[in-house]
Structure 1
Amino acid sequence: MGTHHLASLLLLCALGSATGFLSAPWSPSLRRVDSCQSPVSADSLGPRLRAVVGDRFGARRGTTSPVMMKDDASEGDLSDEALAGLYKRVAKAKSTVTEVPLIVMDSMVPRQKLKFSADPQMKALIVEEGIKVFGMLAVDPVKRKVTSYGSTVEIQDEVMDGDTFTCVFVARKRFKLLGDPWKPENGSHVMSKIEYVDDMGDEETDEGADAAEKMAKIVAEADREADLALSEELEGLVDRWKGLVVSTGREREPNQIDKILMDIGDMPPADKPFDRALWVAALINPLPALGVSLEIRPAVLCSPTASNALQIVHGGLTTSIAHLDGSKPMW
């Protein structure tokens, strides 16, 4: 986890000011200690946020379960199998749905770490209000709007050195936004309901699932063998990529690859393809950036299936390898 480059980062509160939603007089910023990305203005992000959550961004709506809202049919209209599936989904929703404060910063994927220094307002959220977990979203560089998928991040290693407050974000779980964000009456931040997304690839399809989700699961099951083969292929590609980064002198600090691996740990097993895909994304799009790979983290975070995520990271690896060995430079 490097400590070289500084860049401005914005809380979602700043976006609220751009959309006219929040009345907070400040737009707290974070001084990012280890990213090579450019700062993003609140004015440019405001319309993108509306593109994700719509013009309804404002007062919090009712707390009806989003799962229940999808099923307008009465219990009498459902078969026993469908009803059992519905109950299963409701029970699952209760265990995977929670509420978190949001920030727009970076497409961190699980296992990644980001060290930053915070201004007094951000420090107040962490120290005085005791917020230790945030939902982190980013701006999709292709679609040019705030993503609806992100990772929860946990605050660690808080250090106060004079007037400077530094800490580390550690990305934990992938999630998707549910409903509209809102501003608490007595808070200076934005909250949202989120649902944790299973990345282990063991999720079952039930009768209560909607048609799109069922189809995605059917396709994923049919592709399971292909997924395993592609997942296994990533091992050789990763070894090739790491060797090229080091041998071509692309590390931006001494032993950067080793430090990245210390943060993200060992590669997950091949039979956990989505988790492995997230790990590869964390490797080739590290913090600080290496500048040798296309940004694939937003696309991986938003992937509906393991097959899709594997294809993205496979493409990211192969194009980066071709860039590094000179056979097909990207820039």
Structure 2
Amino acid sequence: MVCGGRRSTTQHILNSSTIAKLIMPSLRTCALLLMAATTSTAFTPSPYPPSAAVRCEKYILFSSNSNNNIDNHDFDDFAEFSSTQLASSSSSMVDNNSDDDSFLSSLQSRVQQVQHQSNKLPLMILDTMLPRQVLQIQIQHPTLKSLMKHRINMETPTLGMLGMARLSTGGMVPLKTGVEVEIIQMEKADVTSTMMSSATTSSDSSGGNEEPWDISLRGGRRFIIEGDIDKTTEGWTTATVKFLDSALEEENEVKQFSKPSMEEMNPLDCSTATTTTSSDRLSLARAISKCRQFTEPNMNMKDNASLVDRWIELAKQNERHPGQIDTLLKQLGSIPPEYEPTERALWVGALINPLPSMGVATEIRPALLVSKRAEERVQVALDAILKSIRHMDGSARMW
């Protein structure tokens, strides 16, 4: 793209100095446009369908000194984590001997700064969510309300949602992997007399009069925390994250095992590692093959129904209120194709672990988020939906 350049009518050949003088105003104009554009959050269209009206139970968050907190902890579980200092910027690769070079160096620094800020998310630690899932919460915590008001002014109002993992010692820690959630609804709660009494009590104990808000959040891109965890002056926590792309992960998985191993290069060595490497190369193909089991007719199911269809049929008999499963299916949209095994596994996980939980399947959302390969995710989802079907039809109760 050319920005504001002037066509020259000079017939002789321009030297490099003359060219630099001609294009520099254009570069400055482009830079100003870039800086103006970066004053708002970059818009990333969501690949997931818009949510339908949500009818489900709500999580309720009150002030931090209230007795009504979920699991007796504040929403910000990073409060006691020590944050590391930001890495110092590397020295400029541009020689600053001229005004033009200084300008280009400044522009480069600005672009890097914008890229860094675009991957910075405020964090909310409440529940493990998967892409496409919709969660309704009711909040009263002042800091959390300030965060929501701050983010709703963004072009795309998003924040990071993390769940908790239980250690073998019994302790709970936040997961490092979560999902970016979009605020799709925010309004004052229609508080019933019972809930109003509870909210008023918690507000009075904190010395304020905080009204509860109803918030709806929709899960989007997965991410992993790979940078610093910082506390803002406003009171919430932020972190630098890396967004994860399922297709790119699967592509890299194939590339990773496309390189010959040392044993393959040396025919004199044993072939044990070669067999393992060849097997790993087929991991994605196996994942795609296993994915078909979710939607193919299954002779072990009633009327040869597929696993997904059979689960939906049984779940409608166990739903908490009429229409719960239909609403869930509208939120999730169509099941991804079999050649997208990671996305299909995540879809199945969101189906059998809805929000709020129906209590008919084992919790697999954390496992789906932390798994590194598509085949692992598909196997986790496949095992879980089979167990859930057997639990609901009574052939093998889990509890």
**In the alignment, does 2:135 pair up with 1:114?**
yes
Distance 1:6 1:258 in 2: 18
Pick from 149, 159, 167 the counterpart of residue 215 of structure 2: 167
Q: What TM-score comes out, normalization by structure 2 length?
A: 0.59
1:155 corresponds in structure 2 to 183
Question: Given the superposition, is the C-alpha separation of residues 41 and 220 from structure 1 closer, same or farther in structure 2, using an over 3 Å criterion?
Answer: farther
2:311 corresponds in structure 1 to 241
What's the CA shift for 1:28?
Answer: 8.7
Q: SS in structure 1 opposite 2:366? A: helix
What's the CA shift for 1:177?
Answer: 0.8
Unaligned runs of 5+ in 1: 11-25, 32-37, 66-90, 208-215
What's the CA shift for 1:158?
Answer: 1.9
Q: SS in structure 1 opposite 2:287? A: helix
Q: SS in structure 1 opposite 2:246? A: coil
Q: 1:35-92: per-residue Cα shift (whole Å, max 9, x none)?
A: xxx922338996xx69xxxx87235432679xxxxxxxxxxxxxxxxxxxxxxxxx9x
**Contact 2:76 2:124 (8 Å CA) reproduced:** no
Distance 2:218 2:277 in 1: 30
What's the CA shift for 1:278?
Answer: 0.6
Q: SS in structure 2 opposite 1:295? A: coil
**In the alignment, does 2:361 pair up with 1:313?**
no
Pick from 258, 274, 278 the counterpart of residue 346 of structure 2: 278
Q: Which has the higher contact order (CA 8 A, sep 6+)?
A: 1
What's the CA shift for 1:136?
Answer: 0.7
1:204 corresponds in structure 2 to 252
Give the ranges of 4+ consecutive aligned residues of structure 1 lying more than 4 Å apart after TM superposition: 1-4, 43-46, 94-97, 216-220
**Contact 1:97 1:194 (8 Å CA) reproduced:** no
Q: SS in structure 1 opposite 2:375? A: helix
Q: What TM-score comes out, normalization by structure 1 length?
A: 0.70
Pick from 39, 48, 57 the counterpart of residue 5 of structure 1: 57
2:147 corresponds in structure 1 to 125
**Contact 1:60 1:181 (8 Å CA) reproduced:** no
Q: SS in structure 2 opposite 1:224? A: helix
Unaligned runs of 5+ in 2: 1-52, 91-111, 191-210, 257-275, 296-305
1:299 corresponds in structure 2 to 367
Q: SS in structure 1 opposite 2:318? A: coil
1:254 corresponds in structure 2 to 322
Distance 1:217 1:202 in 2: 16
Question: Given the superposition, is the C-alpha separation of residues 322 and 283 from structure 1 closer, same or farther in structure 2, using an over 3 Å criterion?
Answer: same
**Contact 2:176 2:225 (8 Å CA) reproduced:** yes
Cα RMSD of the aligned pairs, angstroms, is 3.4
Higher-Rg member (1/2): 2
User: Aligned residues, how many?
Assistant: 265
What's the CA shift for 1:145?
Answer: 2.4
**In the alignment, does 2:87 pair up with 1:62?**
yes
